[in-house]
Amino acid sequence: MDRIFLNGMAFYGYHGVFSEENKLGQRFFVDVILEMDTRPAGMTDDLSKTVNYAEVYGLVKDVMEGEPVNLVETLTEKIADATLTQFSIISAVTVKVIKPNPPIPGHYDSVAVEIRRERIV
């Protein structure tokens, strides 16, 4: 299966289990991999035969900048579900949500959750 990558999308959201996270907010980064057959679009140069990347970005933005949730796991599920619901051409999606500055002690680059979900037929 072919894959389309949308990497390093940056958003500001108010997600987290601590009240400071819900009040102050923080940056999140999202990577999405879309699995689908890109041959029809590649052979015809026709946007209607693929996924509009701007629409995928808008969908991810709506989730990330929308209603706050407690868990990064919830964000990844919401993005995967919305992507498979909105774009019937996609057979599977991998979503990685990265939280670079969670309020936990220690030295690290980030914490992240990555999931892969397939369309159920």
> Active site residue: 49, 78, 96, 99, which one?
99
Question: Closest Cα to residue 96, out of 2, 7, 14, 26?
Answer: 7
DSSP 8-class letter at 60:
H
> For residues 9 and 31, is the Cβ–Cβ distance under 8 A?
yes
Examine the residue annotation and report whether 61 is marked as an active-site residue of this protein: no
Which positions are catalytic?
Answer: 99
